[in-house]
Structure 1
């Protein structure tokens, strides 16, 4: 099967009778070439179907105008919004993005890191997988001065740029809201506790209970490593079979919280009279489920914007070439009160 030959700068040079070096400078908007000539050359290049060889350029410069993204699951609303925020700022600056997902598997994350490193990315945005505990796969980026921004799920010990929300304050306000609605036995769907986000949400919740002199019952703390729909249903089954079931539930994400609502409706449990529920993230499903789910906002797009801005700042700022430089940016959250948690008691 015959294939069409790739158009090169030499083909453009022959057509316009310019030197290849002139063509190259014009395509890169070099100041030595007049605006009129640049316009002619770029117009001809488009008409001929010329495509710049970004791979070859990255090999020559040992970098590309590309930002790598390593996330857990692209189908999560928070993650897709985060990616949108990263890509938005990258595009404005003339950068591309490469997205890889780990599906919350450590081995996948290691493989993705090596692939992105080999692609000569200019910077990396990372939200760690649920399984990740070792961080050796990031050392190659640090040694080469490639900036890394950890977002949301961040490492505790590895220094660098980090963009997070105040998960402790969010967990506190979620529990406080349930307490103000009259709840006395508050359960929690807790994510993997080696991940900062879920550990801090739980910590905030427990401190709220202590501050309001409400006993902490370990039977009401359900370990949900993935906070999946299935874990939410199983967690509800365990809670509702207790001699004294809870009257409030704080789930560390909306997926497990929505699962809890559906389980309750199926088994005749009135929400919020029998069980007040609040989730986390403000996923689209939170406002669709019946009753609508109270939740905590997670400013994903803003977090993505900041991640890209930090990478671009690092690249252009000669005084910040140490990708191990510590910087933590913490964004606030908001409590969205909906029918799933609102009882007759006013907050």
Structure 2
């Protein structure tokens, strides 16, 4: 069935025998038109079921009230909460969001960016994908005159606003907690080292060990164990060692920590008595596992609000050129039963 033609200001003007510019002024509540004419135009617009084309209007004004967000995975609690935080602020400002998912693929991330650029969004907010290598597509955003804000996983060298966590100190605190609970051989599940956040978390792990006079054992560090399945594979490898770890810090994600817990249960290993488990991100399921999983809360909703506020502050001419381009949000260690060995 053919869709009815959408009414335009030209249809209203033709019906009333007025200039389109007069109709436009009335619809935009300009004072440069008589009250009687404005009321007639508004009444006719209602009769014709006229709807303003906000995108066209924004383009004419040189500004699109739409912001693009690119995240690795929408179905992770951390990214979902960041988006919710962004949306809470942008909604108050009358902005819309276009949300894209890279699925941890650089090629898909580039396509997302190109789509958003072609949509002429006013700002792009991004956390880069796992196989991120080049920042050329991010530089293109700035070259197109579009604002760019990075969060969580960022290209360090690129001069943009960045909203991050203090990953290193959070990881150090988590490992020091495990040490305080009496764990002696603490393994690390690390993420792709091309991403800044995983390098920082590894640095925190190493600092905690060295600060407490514990050796760094290479066989207890497993690379790229950052999903549930990879976490499970890494755990079987670690627990199969002649001298296995008595704690595993899944610095990559709570999903990896869940993989650790499932393998421990399969092998009848008592948690936390024989194996301590700590994850990262405070996914909702960490509160309903048995035992509940110790994790690190990144205050993701606050991060999202902070990101959006940065953009609107930048729009304000009073704060243009602000120098503090990196905002660091302190994560919080949430201690639960999976690491409380001393309480048994």
TM-score between the two structures when normalised by the length of structure 1? 0.91
Q: Distance in 1 between matches of 2:132 and 2:294?
A: 30
Following TM superposition, by how much is the alpha carbon of 1:319 offset from its aligned partner in structure 2, in angstroms? Answer: 6.5
Residues 42 and 126 (structure 1), Cα distance of their counterparts in 2 relative to 1, 3 Å cut: farther
Residue 189 (structure 1) shift:
0.7
The alpha carbon displacement at 1:63 in A equals 3.6
Is 1:211 aligned with 2:211?
Answer: yes
Report the Cα distance in structure 2 between the residues aligned to 1:31 and 1:316, rounded to whole angstroms.
Answer: 26
In the TM superposition, what are the counterparts of 1:145-164 in structure 2 within 5 Å? 145-164=145-164
Q: Deviations over 1:26-84 (max 9, x none)?
A: 43344546899878866764564323223333443444111111111111111111111
Cα distance in structure 1, aligned partners of 2:69 and 2:240: 42
**Is 2:282 aligned against 1:300?**
no
Aligned partner of 2:5 in structure 1 is 5
For residues 37 and 176 of structure 1, the distance between their equivalents in structure 2, rounded to whole angstroms, comes to 73
Deviations 1:254-289, CA, capped at 9 Å, x for gaps: 000011111111110100000011111111011011
| Aligned equivalent of 2:315 | 315
Q: 1:306 to 1:341 in 2, by over 3 A?
A: same
CA contact (8 A) 1:168 1:202 kept: yes
Q: Structure 2: which 5+ residue stretches go unaligned?
A: none
Between 1:209-218 and 1:7-16, the stretch displaced more is 7-16
- Per-residue CA deviations over 1:112-140 (Å, capped at 9, x if unaligned) read 11111111111110100011110111222
CA distance in 2, matches of 1:62, 1:88: 24
The Cα of 1:311 is off from its aligned counterpart by 1.4
Q: 1:313 to 1:244 in 2, by over 3 A?
A: same
Q: 1:260 to 1:310 in 2, by over 3 A?
A: same
Greater mean deviation of Cα atoms: 24-33 or 187-196 = 24-33
SS at match of 2:172: helix
- Equivalent runs, 1:52-67 vs 2, <5 Å: 52-67=52-67
| Aligned-pair CA distance for 1:205 | 1.1
Residue deviations 1:142-173, cap 9 Å, x none? 12332111000011211110000100111001
Change (3 A) 1:46 1:208: farther
String of CA shifts for 1:210-254, please: whole Å, max 9, x gaps. Answer: 0011111111111125x1111011011001100111111111210
Q: Give yes or no for contact 1:125–1:149 (8 Å, CA) kept in 2.
A: yes
SS in 2 for 1:244: coil
* Cα pair distance change 1:16/1:185, threshold 3 Å: farther
- Alignment match, 1:248: 247
- Does residue 267 (structure 1) correspond to residue 230 (structure 2)? The answer is no
> In 2 relative to 1, CA 9–214 (structure 1 residues): closer, same or farther, beyond 3 Å?
same
What is the Cα-based RMSD across aligned positions, in Å? 2.4
- Any idea what SS the aligned residue of 1:97 has? strand
Instruction: Provide the C-alpha distance between the structure 2 equivalents of 1:46 and 1:303, rounded to a whole number of angstroms.
Output: 42
Q: How does 1:110-149 map to 2 (within 5 A)?
A: 110-149=110-149
Q: Return the offset for 1:316.
A: 3.0
Name stretches of at least 5 consecutive residues in structure 1 with no aligned partner: none
C-alpha contact 2:313 2:319 (8 A) present in aligned 1: no
* 1:277 maps to 2:287: no
| Structure 1 partner of 2:331 | 333
DSSP 3-state at the match of 2:248: strand
How far 1:298 sits from its partner (Å)? 1.0
Please give the alpha-carbon distance, in whole angstroms, between the structure 1 residues aligned to 2:227 and 2:195.
Answer: 16
Give the aligned length.
343
TM-aligned CA distance change 1:266 to 1:44, over 3 Å: farther
User: Structure 2 CA distance, aligned partners of 1:151 and 1:307?
Assistant: 8
The two structures have a TM-score, normalised by structure 2, of 0.92
CA distance in 2, matches of 1:291, 1:18: 73
Give the SS at the match of 1:149: strand
